[in-house]
Structure 1
């Protein structure tokens, strides 16, 4: 888990879009991982299995009634905004750029499933069979034929997603024709 910890934190932050919630989700993930370890059947890699647990924890937090119905008073909002300082980036200065930030903003417009597909394939460079396992919702094992069919569908979805991002980038002026 130590080797995949930062990767899983990024995944959870991308899904939840809130660092405080991502910290809470990561601690819940660690609990679920330890409790579920005896049930791990090695039908996928440990990395894929842990990503699925992380994703499920995030979706449980997002769908929890408390998360959906937060009520905050105006006085609490003004108190928080007065106290909070501007957030500093942990990214090294030579890795930061306005183009990267603008491209990340384009990616934020995508739905969470599309973001997850991008992150698994581009950021983490997972092979398609691992992407299929990470993206599937069921815990049942797939036949090789079902997995190949799902991988082909995800590859097509990925191609459409790249075309969509290219169109958005051209509209935003990030890419010249």
Structure 2
């Protein structure tokens, strides 16, 4: 998505939030970032049914979280943070989830947008799974896969990554602490990238002199 269009959508969502129209703001956020978040969740939840469940929960969580969003970061960063927390919550509470949570209202605007995004994203996902590079990435530890997806595929900045990947119980990072965590993630990313590139070279997937 072009930066100008993204800025316009984020401005629209913020105006809707200021008006108290959080369903409208969630709908704008889903239309802007829902497809990429759905693919991100697919990397964390290999089962398609589970991926769909988590995405539906994410859509509801996003809707409910917007009233407390202080706009200290971009909407995109906030969306990914909500998606990651939802994924972690799903895994931790899977055995009790159905008893505790009601499903997202099938008649709501947010629900319909989420369902449309799941349907539209499926063909793209199927083609990506066939790639051997994607298979190699899938063999990495989950935290390394997550870092690659958010940095390479979603192009989040290092500061945005530091915000999205902080622990659930950790306070928001600011100032020098945020910069230090961003630098740590950058070093970790380079190590993961180098290891993945070396494996790809050994399998003949990229030329020996490819330093990308």
2:80 aligned with 1:51, yes or no?
A: yes
Question: Which structure 2 residues correspond to residues 80-99 of structure 1 after superposition, within 5 A?
Answer: 90-91=123-124
Distance change >3 Å, CA 141–CA 104, structure 1 → 2: same
Q: Indicate which of 157, 164, 173 corresponds to 2:195.
A: 164
Q: CA RMSD in A?
A: 2.4
In the TM superposition, residue 35 of structure 1 has moved relative to its aligned partner by 1.2
Flag the structure with more relative contact order, 1 or 2, with Cα contacts below 8 A and sequence separation at least 6. Answer: 1
Gaps of 5+ in 2: 1-28, 97-121
In the TM superposition, residue 127 of structure 1 has moved relative to its aligned partner by 1.4
| Counterpart in the other structure of 2:50 | 21
| Counterpart in the other structure of 2:132 | 102
| Counterpart in the other structure of 1:127 | 157
Q: Deviations over 1:41-76 (max 9, x none)?
A: 112211111111111111122223539xxxxxxxxx
In the TM superposition, residue 175 of structure 1 has moved relative to its aligned partner by 2.5
Residues 43, 141 of structure 1: 8 Å contact kept: no
**CA–CA separation in structure 2 for the residues paired with 1:133 and 1:97:** 27
2:146 aligned with 1:116, yes or no?
A: yes
Distance change >3 Å, CA 65–CA 20, structure 1 → 2: closer
Residues 16, 62 of structure 1: 8 Å contact kept: no
Number of residue-to-residue matches in the alignment? 153
| Counterpart in the other structure of 1:30 | 59
Q: Tell me the SS of whatever aligns to 1:173.
A: coil
**CA–CA separation in structure 2 for the residues paired with 1:169 and 1:63:** 33
| Counterpart in the other structure of 1:11 | 40
| Counterpart in the other structure of 2:107 | none
Gaps of 5+ in 1: 68-88
Normalising by structure 2, what TM-score?
0.66
**CA–CA separation in structure 1 for the residues paired with 2:77 and 2:165:** 9
